[in-house]
A and B are shown apart, each in its own frame.
Chain A
């Protein structure tokens, strides 16, 4: 079993829909990252959080430390949101900035 599990693996939505991607982890963490990867391969950091909730534009990320669960929400989805969304965690037991990644969720938003 992977230390970081994401669901769903694939998600197709219509433009304007509210989207939720889930991430569960089995280890203690010091931080959780949500990342976006476009087909070219480059990864962009969306959020880094260790508690509560963060919002940036149409994106909202929440984390429940007790339940070891995080969600990424996209409101009013748009075709340009189509990408792979990856959850990654940093363990306090490992040094530096090492991340453990989930498998990613492929999101496709149709016009």
Chain B
């Protein structure tokens, strides 16, 4: 059983650019959640996807968008990057039930200059 993987590991972008981050879910998991973790802070919920549809969104602007594919892998897209978008982006996969564990990927460290 493979774990949750994310790519790339690190990324440097310029303000105004667009970025796509990728996450492969743990085998059998149908729900993916994305979190943003600024330095020294706890993770903040961005959104989650279940069966290829966004189902739940945190306090993030529309320039944060995502996709979930039939194999349950997922992408996080951020347009018009701002300096404050610099953070560790974590994805977590799970089953669609409140009683199930979440499994986190290693994260993508995004730096916006």
Contact = CB atoms under 8 A, between A and B. Distances in A.
A33 B102 contact: yes
B101 to A, nearest CB: 6
Interface string B16-48: 000000000000000101010100111111001
B107 A99 contact: no
A84 to B, nearest CB: 9
Contact of B106 (A30, A41, A86, A94): A41
Contacts of B56: 94-96, 98
B94 interface: yes
Interface string A29-47: 0110101000011111100
Interface in A21-67: 30-31, 33, 35, 40-45, 48
Contacts of A33: 102
B104 A102 contact: no
B109 A98 contact: no
Interface residues of A, number: 27
Contacts of B104: 35, 42-45
Contacts of B103: 45
B2 interface: no
Contact of A97 (B33, B58, B88, B109): B33
Contact of A96 (B50, B58, B90, B109): B50
A3 to B, nearest CB: 11
A101 B44 contact: yes
B31 A97 contact: yes
B105 interface: yes
A43 to B, nearest CB: 4
